[in-house]
Chains A and B, each alone.
Chain A
Amino acid sequence: MSLVVDVLAGAVRGGTSVMYAGLGETVSERAGVINLGTEGCMLVGALGGFAAAYESGNPWVGVLAGAASGGLLALVHAVLCVSRRANQFASGLNVLFLGLGLTSLFGTDYVGKQINALNPVPIPLLSQIPVLGPVLFTQDPLTSLSFATWQPLRVMAGAYLFGAALALSPELQAGGVGINQFALDVLPFVLTLLVLAFLGRRTLLSLPGLARPAADPPSGRGAGRVDYLTHFADCQAAGGGNRFGVPSSVPGLGGCGRRCAEIGTSAARSGPERGARGTGGVNGAVAAVQRVGRRARR
């Protein structure tokens, strides 16, 4: 029982950093910009946060510095893609290279150093619940904040799956289970990829081009949905779709611009088949980003 609680608590603790990055990437992709350099931004944010926390002695200064430094590198990607209309994949890989290089060069000074971590804040009463208390309600403020207003259920599930696999490794080693270290290292990645492949297979089969054609003509209650699914298929065939099925609002991707972005926004509000279910605040952020993008293009 203790092993289960430790692994689950480690999943929430270790998955929160992945979850925040995944949430930002979700908002970015739903707005039509793919950032393959998220890992580079995470690395630079981690180095900036660690360095600031180490120099100042205050972990909250590190939180702010980490967010700022990661956002600064993402700004390079934003300027290249939105302002210069560069290729998003090339720009994302470029950001990844920059992040790897910068952290490898400047991070050596901080190897082996220790900082003050954020202290866990037990939530009164709720932290006394067996199993759930130590797993969910005895975490640091940033982890608790992730439960507050956002409901990105799929992002959270993926991040916590990765975190659970990460937390399982030291627990197995402490328990004396003889598993190859390399297998333990690759376990989080393999497990997450297997789950993504399984879920992606279902999503692939539900794509408009592969799904069974509708028997009835587009009229009545479902007409709008048929229309925008057809429109999505056209956009994706033109190279304008991203992996969430939302057509691009960025002309550089080959999307059809304003009308497509508006359809994507309305679909984000009403389309559970697109994976919008349970992403509450994300849809508002996507709509806001798309509005800003449209205003900038006028």
Chain B
Amino acid sequence: MLAALAVAGDSLQLDSGLPAATVNILTGLILVAVLGWTGRRTR
């Protein structure tokens, strides 16, 4: 998933002309959502 996000981010950056930092932030936010969504509750 990390590799897919990196490749998609690179494509997005090249196509839309976004700065690399934006792709990093988007990758991080998507991973936060995925990790938080798939995780279990402690209580």
- Interface residues of chain A, those whose CB is within 8 Å of chain B, are 76, 79-80, 82-87, 90-91, 93-95, 97-98, 100-105, 296-297
Contacts and interface: CB of A to CB of B under 8 A. Distances in A.
B28 A98 contact: yes
Given A85-B42, A90-B31, 8 more contacts: A85-B39, A86-B36, A93-B31, A97-B27, A97-B28, A98-B25, A101-B22, A296-B42
Given A97-B24, A98-B28, A105-B19, A83 B41 contact: yes
Nearest to B37: A84
Nearest to A107: B21
A147 to B, nearest CB: 36
Nearest to B24: A101
Contacts of B24: 97-98, 100-101, 104
B10 to A, nearest CB: 14
A76 B20 CA distance: 22
Contacts of A104: 19-21, 24
Contact of A297 (B32, B35, B36, B42): B42
Contacts of B4: none
Q: Interface residue tally of chain B, by bracket?
A: 20 to 34
Interface string B11-23: 0000000011111
Interface of B: 2, 19-29, 31-32, 35-36, 38-42
Nearest to B39: A84
A94 B36 contact: no
A213 to B, nearest CB: 38
Nearest to B42: A83
A87 B31 CA distance: 11
A80 B21 contact: no
A84 B28 CA distance: 16
Contacts of B26: 101
Contacts of B28: 94-95, 97-98, 101
B23 A84 contact: no
Contacts of B29: 98
B22 to A, nearest CB: 7
A169 B24 CA distance: 31
Contacts of A105: 19, 21-22, 25
Contacts of A101: 21-28
Contacts of B39: 80, 83-86
Nearest to A84: B39
Contacts of B2: 90, 93
